[in-house]
């Protein structure tokens, strides 16, 4: 980290920051429908060393490519940044879009190192946007709260990167707490932290990264979003959040089959999130398995965002003792999660490797995640 910073910029950084990746426990494609999500921050991070300059240059490099990107604050615009640097530099541009006076600040040097697998559905992108937003907020004394920093990251991803993603990822990354999930109402942006108690129940969450890479900006994500908007418009509501299971019969009568199934996923998924929260509070994480399983079936059959590798990961997890399992993230690849007794993690990993080999799929990466604290500054 420090060596990488010195290689690119010379000398030492003056501050150190980190932002975690995230896993969504349940509530998929509900965020941009003004609904509910229940993600947690994980124990994998993007770490960033930073140092202010005394001119107007922004210089950013990442161990991901070791390429050094440089641009003046005076030239920063969504059109002037591209590639991976759209994430960190886009967050700075978006801070300006939210009212930060970027005319009065000086440049900065940023060096990034990450152990969040990229494109695996664990939101390496939000970690990157959030770590930059958090750091410049403090170093430039911009005065934004964490909710606004999440919106800044989202704006960057939407406008600069061009991926029409919701507010979930940045919220989990910025608001996460250890051994807890974040319930986020994506309409009001109200959030609450709900204890998971995994440790006490001797439960573990295992991520299986299928290494099938998704591509949000060009993939089916935008098409799903468009279907949801079309469904809401046809049903006369601002967003699908305004509908409940009582509206399903009317939706089925009005909509074509595909749009109806997209709408049904969102309506039932919102219900599952709220039910998960209720069960977590009353009975604990060991009792949420059937909701995780039902969420996967809904994404596979109604929303059609799963892929065979994700279905296999979920099926194998269920066969090998998981309390519940589902694909997580935007879909079309990425990762699945399984909630399982801690003592069964080793045998689940073996089973995943064997099943993927037998199916002729790429070897998956199977690892445990611990729900963790959100983005933070570290002492140097
Ligand atoms: P996910 O968020 O699921 O990991 P995305 O496609 O949304 O996948 O974001 C991945 C992109 O984010 C990468 O292709 C790269 O451009 C950028 N990125 C993520 N982490 C880093 C990093 N540490 N350094 C440079 N770029 C990164
Ligand atoms: Mg992402």
Rounded distance, CA 238 to CA 256, Å? 19
- Each residue of 54-72: pLDDT tens digit? 999 999 999 989 899 999 9
Closest C-alpha to 181, from 318, 313, 314, 281? 281
pLDDT at 219 over 90: no
CA 110 / ligand 1 centre spacing (Å): 16
Q: Given a cut of 60, is residue 217 above it in pLDDT?
A: no
What pLDDT is recorded for position 280?
A: 98
217, 163 contact by CB (below 8 A): yes
Judged against a pLDDT cut of 80, whether residue 250 lies above it is answered with yes
- Using a 6 Å cutoff on CB, does residue 164 contact ligand 1? no
Question: Residue 223 Cα, ligand 1 centroid: separation in angstroms?
Answer: 21
pLDDT of residue 216: 58
Residues 336, 208: contact at Cβ < 8 Å? Answer: yes
Tokens of 246: 């009582």
Reported confidence tier of residue 127, pLDDT bands at 50, 70, 90: very high
Q: How confident is the model at residue 213 (pLDDT cuts 50, 70, 90)?
A: confident
Cite the residue boundaries of each domain of the chain with CATH code 3.30.70.890.
197-369
**187 Cα to the center of ligand 2, angstroms:** 21
> What percent of the chain stands above pLDDT 90?
92
Mean pLDDT computed over every residue of the chain: 96
**Residue 87 beta carbon below 6 angstroms from any ligand 1 atom:** yes
Largest CA distance in the chain: 67
222 burial type by CB count under 10 A (0-12 exposed, 13-18 middle, 19+ buried): middle
The answer regarding whether domain 2-193 maps to CATH 3.30.230.10 reads yes
Rounded to an integer, the average pLDDT of 193-212 is: 96
List the catalytic residue out of 55, 145, 169, 302.
Answer: 169
pLDDT band at 238 (very low <50, low <70, confident <90, very high): very high
Please say if 74 is a catalytic residue. no
Report, as an integer, the average pLDDT of 251-256. Answer: 98
What does the pLDDT read at residue 113?
Answer: 98
Place of tokens 């995943």: 352
Judge whether residue 89 has pLDDT over 90.
yes
Across the range 134-148, mean pLDDT stands at 97
- Running DSSP on this structure, what letter comes out for residue 329? S
Could you give the C-alpha distances from 214 to 153, 259, 329, 333, in angstroms and in order?
A: 20, 22, 10, 5
Domain with CATH 3.30.230.10 in the chain: 2-193
CATH of domain 197-369: 3.30.70.890
């Amino acid at each position: 980290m420090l060596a990488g910073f010195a290689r690119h910029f010379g000398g030492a950084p003056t501050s150190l920051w980190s932002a975690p990746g995230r896993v969504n426990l349940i509530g998929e494609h509900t965020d941009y429908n003004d609904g509910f999500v229940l993600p947690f921050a994980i124990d994998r991070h993007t770490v960033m060393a930073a140092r202010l300059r005394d001119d107007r240059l922004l210089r950013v490099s990442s161990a991901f490519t070791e390429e050094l990107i440089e641009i003046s604050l005076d030239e920063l615009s969504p059109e002037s940044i591209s590639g991976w640097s759209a994430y960190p530099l886009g967050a700075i541009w978006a801070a300006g879009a939210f009212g930060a006076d970027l005319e009065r600040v000086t440049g900065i040097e940023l060096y990034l190192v990450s152990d969040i697998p990229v494109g695996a559905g664990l939101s390496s992108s939000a970690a990157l946007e959030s770590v930059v937003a958090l750091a410049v907020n403090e170093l430039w004394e911009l005065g934004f709260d964490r909710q606004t920093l999440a919106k800044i990251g989202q704006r960057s991803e939407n406008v600069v990167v061009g991926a029409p993603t919701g507010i979930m990822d940045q919220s989990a990354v910025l608001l996460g707490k250890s051994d807890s999930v974040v319930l986020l109402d994506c309409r009001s942006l109200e959030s609450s932290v709900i204890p998971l108690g995994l440790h006490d129940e001797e439960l573990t969450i295992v991520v299986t990264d299928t290494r099938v890479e998704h591509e949000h900006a060009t993939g089916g994500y935008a098409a799903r979003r468009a279907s949801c908007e079309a469904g809401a418009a046809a049903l006369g509501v601002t967003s699908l959040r305004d509908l409940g299971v009582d509206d399903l019969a009317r939706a089925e009568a009005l909509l074509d089959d595909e749009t109806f199934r997209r709408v049904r996923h969102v309506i039932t998924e919102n219900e599952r999130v709220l039910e998960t929260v209720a069960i977590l509070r009353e009975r604990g994480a060991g009792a949420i398995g059937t909701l995780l399983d039902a969420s996967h079936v809904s994404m596979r059959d109604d929303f059609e965002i799963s892929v065979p590798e994700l279905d296999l990961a979920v099926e194998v997890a269920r066969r090998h003792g998981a309390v519940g399992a589902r694909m997580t993230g935007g879909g079309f690849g990425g990762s699945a999660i399984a909630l399982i007794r801690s003592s069964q993690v080793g045998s689940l990993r073996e089973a995943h490797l064997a099943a993927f080999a037998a199916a002729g799929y790429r070897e998956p990466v199977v690892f445990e995640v611990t729900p963790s604290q959100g983005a933070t500054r570290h002492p140097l």
